[in-house]
Amino acid sequence: MVSVHIFITQFYQRFDLRTTMLYICERHFQKISNRSLFTGLRSITHFGRPTFNSFLDSLQQEHPGVSKIGVFSCGPPTMTRGVEKACSALNKVDGAAFIHHYENF
């Protein structure tokens, strides 16, 4: 199973009026067309920077019984290091093993 989550990080952490309207439009478009308004893909689009530990833990809860979860990230080195740290931290507790694959730019 493949579950794709896209994070649009250029928007503010705290929602201003513009970001709120884009968020509402995105959610509505996803419900009626099963696609992202921004990417055209059948993926879940999030706004703002994720808290990697919480996000990856939620994936583990969403897919119980899975022994390995592949995590693919693409971005600057500071971001991919954050993802790697979260994967390493979660690999120290019982549950699925997070295997991180990344590309830096």
Q: Which amino acid is at 27?
A: R
Query: Does the predicted TM-score (pTM) go above 0.75?
Result: no
CB 30 within 8 A of CB 36: yes
Q: Give which of 54, 51, 83 is closest to 70, Cα–Cα.
A: 83
pLDDT bracket for residue 14 (50, 70, 90): low
**Exposure string for 6-41, b = 16+ CB within 10 A, e = fewer:** ebbeebeeeeeeebeebbeebeeebeeeeebeeeee
- For 50-105, what is each residue's pLDDT tens digit? 899 999 999 888 888 889 999 999 889 999 999 999 999 999 988 889 999 999 98
Please say if the pLDDT value at position 11 is more than 70: no
